Structure 1
Amino acid sequence: MEINKVYSGFRLDRIERIDEINGTAYEMKHEKSGARLIYIDSPDSNKVFNIAFRTTPHNSTGVAHIMEHSVLCGSRKFPLKEPFVELVKGSLNTFLNAMTYPDKTMYPVASKNDKDFHNLMDVYLDAVFYPRVREDAEIVMQEGWHYELENADDELTYKGVVFNEMKGVYSSPDSVLERQMMRELFPDTTYGVDSGGDPDYITDLTYEEFQEFYRVHYHPSNSYIFLYGDMNIEEQLAFLNDEYLSHFDAIDVHTEVALQAPFTEGKVVSYPYSVGSEEPTDNRTLHSFAYVLPDVTPEHSLAFEVLTHALLTSPAAPLKQALVKAGIGSDVSGYYLDSIRQPMWTVQATGSNLDKQADLQRIVESTLQELCDKGLDKELLEASLNSIEFALRESDFGGRPIGLAYIIRMMDNWLYDNDPLELLHYEEALANIRKGLAGTYFEDLIRHSILNNNHKVLVSIYPERGLQERKDAEVKEHLATVKANMTSEEIEAIVEQTKRLKIRQETPDSDEALASIPLLELSDLNPNIEAVERRESKIGNTTVHFVPTFTKGINYVGLYFKLNCLTEEELFYADILSDILGRIDTSERGYEALAKDINMNLGGLSSDITAISKDGKRDEFTPLMIVRAKALHSKLPDLCRLINEVVQKADYSDDQRLTELVQESKAIWDNEAFRRGNSIVSQRVMAQVSAVGKFRDNGNLGYYQKISELASNPAALPLLPEKLAEVARKIFRANNVDIMFVGEEGELEAFENLMKPFVETWDATELSDDALQITRLSGNDGIVTAGKVQYVAQGGNFIDHGFKHVGPMSVLETILRYEYLWIRIRVQGGAYGAFANFYDDGNMIFCSYRDPNLLETLNVYKELPQYLRDFTLTDREMRKYIIGTMSSLDLPMTPALRGPRAMGMYFSGAKLEDKVEFRKQVIACKPEDIVALADVVEPVLNDNHICTMGNEQKIKDTGNVFDNIVSLG
């Protein structure tokens, strides 16, 4: 391809090699429609397509978010109610979603299958350029909001998917804090409103306003198209031109993001947020001190990432330490945000009180001034720079397509008419920043962008009991007034509208409409599974598991310590231990020096607690604490040295430091508990059903309850050092660990030679491996919060009823998530979503999230067996569900994920041939196999194991559903 030539209507303006991502970028513009396009040619088989629009709402009705939902509800070529859902059911996609940001909306897809990739592009392009919602207001009613009135005498209510989703978002205090902060920082621009929608304003959106927003924002001249991966680009350009872009003429668009005028002086404001009637209010205030930064270059953005890590993220972070030691908050954090036109830098403190507000601002500014006057710790900065550089070079996004990460990054420049490719280059910026370590580069940055900057806001939100109840009463009164002012004809019209909407939701798409969605053949599916090689060797009596993999020069190490030697009571201390490893002193030095060393030489060191069930076995599992580290192969000696220091030389005697970390952990849970609702309620149900479920709950809600109790009990805190030391002594033994090493051929010997001298010094005392005796929970829990929506879970164990885990259960998961539960709980019930999981240890769970209902959702679960007994499906629709299920079983494997996959197979005892047989069962699944699962589901549901987290009054009004009413915190 040559610059200035036209290919299928696209003029090629630029070709640029980007060594950092091993790709070549082609920047083009479609001459007739005005659409912009960038293609990155890469050998990656995981292809990515994205179309984005600059969307700049002027109010908080959530019009951009509701638009994102609504355009995916049927289009010209695909006249179904929800083509997006039909795609998810029957695609081999590796990513399929849509995202609303404060100033843009993105529609990305990815697949390794060429035919599938083309199908995904076609459906998404037709959706954004020819959506049915332009003429169909009922789609906006369903996805956005509508009045609900089944009978003329009923109370008038609001319902809608986005309405309930955002009620859930606004139930988390950190979301409330962010919303208020953006409103104060950007009062005159699109960032001052909530593109996702504020539930207090969503119901102001009219269909006419919605249509106008589409007209202004969803034209090719306002679009940004991205293609990535190994493909025939000229074929893709021809498709884009012939099927879509050639039908549009370029227009002038005016969707620019306005600049917020800088403040002449900062602001300090406070707002209440709601907590439950029994939730504590002390130490529950959140503060956010934020600056809008002037004149930020891409190099400065990278420097601010380094600065944020050094000042606020690292355990040695001086600004964080200053605020914690001054008692401003239990948890101090911060972030730099450059995905908006005017980047911002934020310091946040949680676990605080409102009277600390002025102290926070004073300490932040005085500490930064002192650091600039004395000079920042160069070793700390270099360590943080190394940590950021490692992440850039590793480019691991947890299995997500790497091309998706590239386009998200590029949009941070492209959207504002700056060079999009500039943000993919980082070598020069890294070199300049590293050079700046010798001078006053970072000090000058702080002075210019923060200390001499008055565009700042300190926002605090404080807990207030009864706030949500008053708001609910106001909404109820408002709706009663609205209804009272309606004529009988208007009331009857809403009753009829409610009926029509329900009929629409309950009426299945026609076979003809369903057939419009392109579909792969079962022959496109591969029943085989990629084998991850694992070789065993020994260091003394300790087993080493080598997973040979091409890793781009990075080694991954995992120490898998078994927890069978602990009592159930001691698991709590193991969880604390996992939280604090690498963040406390060792016998060799303080935690600040340790943190610098880790960041200087490693790409990360962390630990977590998990349980791996035995394949197909009821209540047989291996409880583990996994200590993980990763580093460049050249840093392998440092990796081994640091792992040894962290697990063998930790000093637990500093009770003041331990108290800080306990308080920090509690503060984090206080803010995030509601957001983790689906995980909490699912595991709480499983805690009634199985030992492994209770084990996991011990580290989830059980941990939160115990850490809250410990944090509020000064008498118990001094006992913590002894408890932790004793638990660590039991866990960190040479004969209690399996070591994983992921690297390239020839690297194992070096690792074993480095690790052997350390392992040989570890305690090898024999301890009982059957000390862990788990006691299940009893009774159904209703977990009350001030939240506006619920998470509703019900489940049990099907092995208890004589069944085993089979392939059709995975197909049923797909059917329930995108058919039965989707229609009954999301579409009709107004929840954000629902899912089902069947596990190979027999555990089964159904769960809804951000759900306005409770008893109605439990009734949906109750009616599932009958749905299954009546289940019928065409061969084509069955094939769709099978393909969608296989897609979920075939997530891409990055080097970082291959080791854990191999270790999971090892501890579970799973055999590759059994996995292949399971996949064959999925591919061979027939409708009658789904019908047969009614006999599996029904007895499990009859066991009546339930847990809900949500609105306090809603839970208390359910009668005798719950045996225990539990308060968060």
Structure 2
Amino acid sequence: MSTPMERAVVLRSLSCTPLVCTRFFSRSARNLLGRLSPLPKRHRAIANLHTRSLLRHHLRAISTSSTRPSIQLRKHFSTLSPRAIATPPTQPSPEVVGADDEVAKKLGFEKVSEEFIEECKSRAVLYKHTKTGAEIMSVSNNDENKVFGIVFRTPPKDSTGIPHILEHSVLCGSRKYPLKEPFVELLKGSLHTFLNAFTYPDRTCYPVASTNTKDFYNLVDVYLDAVFFPKCVEDFQTFQQEGWHYELNNPAEDITYKGVVFNEMKGVYSQPDNIMGRITQQASILLALFPDNTYGVDSGGDPQVIPNLSFEEFKEFHRNYYHPSNSRIWFYGDDDPTERLRILSEYLDMFDASSAPSESIIQPQKLFSKPVRIVEKYPAPEGGNLKKKHMVCLNWLLDEKPLDLETELALEFLDHLMLGTPASPLRKTLLESGLGDAIVGGGMDSDLLQPQFCLGLKGVSEDDIQKVEELIMNSLKNLAEEGFDSDAVEASMNTIEFALRENNTGSFPRGLALMLRSVGKWIYDRDPFEPLKYQKPLLDLKARIAKEGSKAVFAPLIEKYILNNSHLVTVEMQPDPEKASQDEATEREALKKVKASMTEEDLAELTRATHELRLKQETPDPPEALKAVPSLSLSDIPRKPIFVPTEVGDINGVKILQHDLFTNDVLYAEVVFNMSSLKQELLPLVPLFCQSLLEMGTKDMDFVQLNQLIGRKTGGISVSPLTSSIRGKEDPCSHIIVRGKAMSGRTEDLFNLRDRTRGARSAMDIWSIRNRWNHLCLGQTLWVVSQGCKKGRYTSLGARALLCGMQNGSRDRDDMEGVSSVQLFSCCLVFTFLIEVVLSLVGGGSEANQVSYSQGDGVSVSEEVNRILQDVQFTDQKRFKQFVSQSKARLEARIRGSGHGIAAARMDAKLNVAGWVGEQMGGASFLEFLKDLGKKVDEDWDGVSSSLEEIRRTLISRNGCLINLTADGKNLTNSVKFVSKFLDLLPSTSPVNYVGKAANIYDTGYELNGSAYVISKHISNTWLWDRVRVSGGAYGGFCDFDTHSGVFSFLSYRDPNLLTTLDVYDATGDFLRDLEMDNDTLTKAIIGTIGDVDSYQLPDAKGYSSLLRYLLGITEEERQKRREEILSTNLNDFKEFADAIDAVKNKGVVVAVASPEDVEAANKERSNFLEVKNVLD
């Protein structure tokens, strides 16, 4: 499971997150949406496709895993496989109805209230179970992506991690499903679009989703049985496996700690950002943000405290809190509302009411009478200038009681104004100060009972700590006194309103996003309907701003909740290169004392128990237990792949792809530029070039004005690179892609649209544009919006990273990138604008291509766009150096927390051209480049600036340009011939390892067959899950087959082992040869694979997937062929694949991100097996 202070790392998807990924709007906008901000920061096991799912099955074709790191949010997030990229917009349809009241009464439910929620076109009914008091929200609409979730208030009293361990454990078998892990069996043979478990600081949530009704109810039943009747409360070995236990293989050896959660949290506590987050939240330091309530402890578990947890306490926690009376239950979608209640009644009627609701109430933290300060050390690698690696963060608890929704909305809006874009004043001031490398804290957080505001910098000099604190306070005072620019207010309002109205939930089903939004208040006994209704609060806020002015609205909020708020905790983090070794020494000393206290009989018993637990882990479930888990049959699976309509056309020599899909009046557009002619030495500059295009000024305006113009006129423009292998070709697919989206809305406003700086546009002007482009557009009014994406991240195959980054706009806590805004235009005008972006970047074209319209001062759209992109000046040396420092800080943080991604990128770079290219722009090679670039910017800025101009001249051209449109009714260097000569191993100063091994299996003569999808998935879900995760204690282990390049990779995540894991990889061929599989197991494997291939997608994702297939030459005939091969997979295919996979064993490249101690031990055992390169200073 991932960690309490993580956001999505997602394996090799490192350019922006999750199909997820990623990425998203600013944190404040996400909070308003209830998008991802309510999601916890830890996941159980994304055993399918996480952020790479779409890319893997529509682009790279195969990727499976027994676990994935999750989206780094604020709680513990346990995502098994959000295969559904998103639920589509709700289509117009007759009004839906709920269950009959009389039928509900007969089933034991009383209707409390009922409302039609216009914002999500749904009828919501709140029921109460008469016998237990359980509350159920039944939301009915026409969304086929059905969602169920059950949430319990689970406030911990200490940091032993009971909620986290229990969340892992309840899914390890139950009364009706007595196998070891029905969770894993579900992901093997289900069409689930979401299969998760989340642990928050005060609640635990178990959601599932599926578009198949039969499958959906199967999932619901397994989950209900798991939470109410789990085996773990009777099975001590499950507690040991998932929580913690002493391990002793031989009485003569040292005792060690093992346990999935224990090992996970050791990894979490090794990251400085995570440590800071915990300090501000926890009571382990007396004067912290929450010293007096449940938030003062870590629900995920502190590795130093976890071993204090007893099995009796574990069982009692379940008995107290996992009760219907203490639950909130959610159903959503197009299934029968009565059937929902019938399923629930079978479980709830087995219980009586309990006192759990009163015992689980979250008590608020009272505000401090004076600020406090905390100084803590964090483990830092040796070398480098440690004096400049301090962190400081100011943290306010905003109120001692929950805020009303109107105040919360205003504060979220204020947060976006201050921090939401690169031009936002508070963010700009901090980053331009030169006092730190990147922002930490993330701003406003309203996920818990009481909201907080946290802000600071990392990469700070020891001498500048006080300067940072003063800068933050003075900046906030200035904002309260001077207010905000009206254009900034307009752009922020457009961003937030568009985000709410579009409700693009990325990798999460819409019903899940709505559930988390509602539960965020419901769990505190507040109205569950209110968080779903944003229209009136938003209109009221807009009216207040219009009437009183933004300063009158926001200045009092800054003064009351921040400047005059004495509940301030300042946290300073100091780097300590000895802390990690000291912590390990403390752990070893404690274990020595444990062993010294044991008799010979005790040691013999512990050795026996260790072997007994391992035997249980390695013993397969009996066939009868496996058959108990409900599964679909092959007859439930459609024979044909999901069809995306694609029309290929031509406009003035520019090729255009059009996808006629219902998008709820949203236009999604991509403009693609060929990167084939770019010099190799310029590759590492491409991510920074993309960032510079949008975050530097032009001849006429600085970058603040430019960002405001983008926000008001377009809602934002994103620019990112895409690189991937193409099967059968040596040269990679390499492009720069500009993305945008737009949404219809206020037609009347369109004809009165006025740019305060440019004058008015007439209806005739717009009509002339519409006529010119009516063969492409619907002529409807649209909101123009573009999604921000991450820059300067590391990628393995850039395509997967790009895809993940482009699904949503986002702002990470550490870098706060990717913000979207919105401005009203017509659909025709939207497309015209995007085309003009292309033409302006190209630098001209015929007059016929220059579409303009009258403005009060005669300035055309073309001229504005030319200023935005063609006229961007690469002259701001100071700002560009900020980009370099920020990129370096982000990449170093991700190496420490996501080392498996670096290992994967390194292996790809060794084995194929696209991998090498991607690694130059985002992996360890990119980090080396950034280290040198900072110095070069100081010494040869003219040279750097000239290189950026050369990239623009080379890349931005109409030659090879491609446009992709999705709406209702509507190649990096391809001559790169070599792989980097400087590829070696990459260690990390981490207490856990990330171990990878890969080879090109096409070199063995293997020819791709769709059965490889099934086989790879089965290897991850069985062999690697059992040997690397369950027995080995790693957080995750998985395999990945890049069907375009032929590279087959093994990877592990947060792995306490190194050589042992490599031995497991090498034994995979023998595992396949010895494999015995009955028809039911094979069918589950096939169905689970089809579920991955048929990932549910929003129209924009469908259109973008089709674009990627087009670029990579994947035809519909090939897709059909692969699907037939998947469906006809047999046991012999598994055994034949063993010879191909032996190439990894015999010729594979090994890359491990590992601690020096483990590398040294490995090289002692196998002489000079690993060559070491230290990447982190």
- Tell me if structure 2 keeps the 8 A contact 1:648–1:732: no
Give 3-state SS (helix, strand or coil) of 2:369's partner: coil
Q: CA deviation at 1:872?
A: 0.8
1:239 is aligned to 2:463: no
Measure the CA separation in 1 of the matches of 2:482 and 2:1048. 59
Give 3-state SS (helix, strand or coil) of 1:247's partner: coil
Q: CA deviation at 1:916?
A: 1.5
Measure the CA separation in 2 of the matches of 1:673 and 1:770. 28
| 1:779–1:655 distance in 2 versus 1, CA, 3 Å | closer
TM-score scaled by length of structure 1:
0.95
Measure the CA separation in 2 of the matches of 1:609 and 1:460. 37
* Map of 2:739 onto structure 1: 628
* Map of 1:966 onto structure 2: 1174
| 1:768–1:402 distance in 2 versus 1, CA, 3 Å | closer
Measure the CA separation in 2 of the matches of 1:163 and 1:660. 37
* Map of 2:369 onto structure 1: 264
- Tell me if structure 1 keeps the 8 A contact 2:732–2:972: no
* Map of 1:751 onto structure 2: none
Measure the CA separation in 1 of the matches of 2:232 and 2:982. 48
Q: CA deviation at 1:622?
A: 1.1
**Counterpart residue type for residue 968 of structure 1:** L
1:673 is aligned to 2:876: no
Q: CA deviation at 1:208?
A: 1.1
Q: CA deviation at 1:629?
A: 1.8
- Tell me if structure 2 keeps the 8 A contact 1:779–1:964: no
Q: Structure 2: 5+ residue runs without aligned partners?
A: 1-98, 283-287, 744-781, 783-823, 841-864
* Map of 1:206 onto structure 2: 310
Q: CA deviation at 1:447?
A: 1.6
Give 3-state SS (helix, strand or coil) of 2:1103's partner: helix
Match of 2:1101 among 893, 897, 912: 897
* Map of 2:1138 onto structure 1: 934
Give 3-state SS (helix, strand or coil) of 1:458's partner: strand
After alignment, is 800-809 or 98-107 more displaced? 800-809
- Tell me if structure 1 keeps the 8 A contact 2:733–2:974: no
Spell out the pairing of 1:176-325 with structure 2 (5 A cutoff).
Answer: 176-183=275-282, 184-242=288-346, 244-253=347-356, 254-278=359-383, 280-294=385-399, 296-325=403-432
Measure the CA separation in 1 of the matches of 2:941 and 2:388. 18
* Map of 1:954 onto structure 2: 1158
Spell out the pairing of 1:472-511 with structure 2 (5 A cutoff).
Answer: 472-511=584-623
Q: CA deviation at 1:330?
A: 2.2
| 1:793–1:674 distance in 2 versus 1, CA, 3 Å | same
Q: How many residues align?
A: 946
Match of 2:200 among 101, 118, 126: 101
| 1:606–1:623 distance in 2 versus 1, CA, 3 Å | same
Measure the CA separation in 2 of the matches of 1:667 and 1:342. 30
Match of 2:271 among 155, 158, 172: 172
Measure the CA separation in 1 of the matches of 2:652 and 2:388. 50
Measure the CA separation in 2 of the matches of 1:447 and 1:777. 58
- Tell me if structure 1 keeps the 8 A contact 2:142–2:334: yes
Q: CA deviation at 1:559?
A: 1.7
* Map of 1:760 onto structure 2: none
Q: Map Cα deviations across residues 378-427 of structure 1 (whole Å, 9 max, x no partner).
A: 22122112111111111112242110111111111011001111011111
**Counterpart residue type for residue 899 of structure 2:** G
* Map of 1:916 onto structure 2: 1120
After alignment, is 82-91 or 949-958 more displaced? 949-958
Q: CA deviation at 1:784?
A: 2.4
Q: Map Cα deviations across residues 461-487 of structure 1 (whole Å, 9 max, x no partner).
A: 122112101111121122112101211
* Map of 1:462 onto structure 2: 574
* Map of 2:532 onto structure 1: 424
Q: CA deviation at 1:600?
A: 2.4
- Tell me if structure 2 keeps the 8 A contact 1:666–1:711: no
1:784 is aligned to 2:987: yes
Q: Structure 1: 5+ residue runs without aligned partners?
A: 749-766
Measure the CA separation in 2 of the matches of 1:436 and 1:855. 64
**Counterpart residue type for residue 586 of structure 1:** T
* Map of 1:373 onto structure 2: 481
Match of 1:704 among 902, 923, 927: 927
**Counterpart residue type for residue 587 of structure 2:** V
- Tell me if structure 2 keeps the 8 A contact 1:568–1:774: no
- Tell me if structure 2 keeps the 8 A contact 1:601–1:639: no
Spell out the pairing of 1:63-82 with structure 2 (5 A cutoff).
Answer: 63-82=162-181
**Counterpart residue type for residue 366 of structure 1:** N
* Map of 1:808 onto structure 2: 1011
Measure the CA separation in 2 of the matches of 1:13 and 1:726. 66
Aligned-residue Cα RMSD (Å) equals 1.9
**Counterpart residue type for residue 45 of structure 1:** E
After alignment, is 497-506 or 351-360 more displaced? 351-360
Measure the CA separation in 1 of the matches of 2:518 and 2:317. 25
Q: CA deviation at 1:185?
A: 0.6
**Counterpart residue type for residue 612 of structure 1:** S
Q: Map Cα deviations across residues 112-142 of structure 1 (whole Å, 9 max, x no partner).
A: 1111111101111000000111111110100
After alignment, is 944-953 or 15-24 more displaced? 944-953
| 1:932–1:2 distance in 2 versus 1, CA, 3 Å | closer
Q: CA deviation at 1:556?
A: 1.8
Measure the CA separation in 2 of the matches of 1:293 and 1:40. 33
Measure the CA separation in 2 of the matches of 1:874 and 1:789. 37
Measure the CA separation in 2 of the matches of 1:774 and 1:162. 43
Q: CA deviation at 1:895?
A: 2.0
Q: Map Cα deviations across residues 891-920 of structure 1 (whole Å, 9 max, x no partner).
A: 111022122111111111001121121111
- Tell me if structure 1 keeps the 8 A contact 2:895–2:988: no
Give 3-state SS (helix, strand or coil) of 1:836's partner: strand
* Map of 2:50 onto structure 1: none
**Counterpart residue type for residue 318 of structure 1:** P
Identity %: 35
Spell out the pairing of 1:731-810 with structure 2 (5 A cutoff).
Answer: 731-745=955-969, 772-777=976-981, 780-781=984-985, 783-810=986-1013
| 1:718–1:297 distance in 2 versus 1, CA, 3 Å | farther
- Tell me if structure 2 keeps the 8 A contact 1:795–1:846: yes
Spell out the pairing of 1:558-597 with structure 2 (5 A cutoff).
Answer: 558-597=670-709
Q: Map Cα deviations across residues 836-889 of structure 1 (whole Å, 9 max, x no partner).
A: 111222111110101111111001001111111101101111111111111111
- Tell me if structure 2 keeps the 8 A contact 1:58–1:190: yes
Q: CA deviation at 1:676?
A: 2.8
Measure the CA separation in 2 of the matches of 1:638 and 1:455. 48
Match of 2:447 among 327, 339, 352: 339
Give 3-state SS (helix, strand or coil) of 2:1162's partner: coil
| 1:364–1:639 distance in 2 versus 1, CA, 3 Å | farther
Q: CA deviation at 1:347?
A: 1.3
* Map of 1:605 onto structure 2: 717
Q: CA deviation at 1:536?
A: 2.7
After alignment, is 153-162 or 932-941 more displaced? 932-941
1:394 is aligned to 2:502: yes
**Counterpart residue type for residue 1062 of structure 2:** L
Measure the CA separation in 2 of the matches of 1:641 and 1:188. 58
Measure the CA separation in 1 of the matches of 2:1095 and 2:407. 35
TM-score scaled by length of structure 2:
0.78
1:403 is aligned to 2:497: no
Measure the CA separation in 1 of the matches of 2:941 and 2:581. 36
Measure the CA separation in 2 of the matches of 1:581 and 1:962. 41
Measure the CA separation in 2 of the matches of 1:337 and 1:711. 33
| 1:536–1:291 distance in 2 versus 1, CA, 3 Å | same
Measure the CA separation in 1 of the matches of 2:875 and 2:161. 51
| 1:302–1:602 distance in 2 versus 1, CA, 3 Å | farther
Q: Map Cα deviations across residues 467-525 of structure 1 (whole Å, 9 max, x no partner).
A: 10111112112211210121111111110110110111111100111111011111111
Q: CA deviation at 1:3?
A: 6.4
| 1:381–1:773 distance in 2 versus 1, CA, 3 Å | farther
Give 3-state SS (helix, strand or coil) of 1:673's partner: helix
Q: CA deviation at 1:354?
A: 3.2
- Tell me if structure 2 keeps the 8 A contact 1:794–1:846: yes
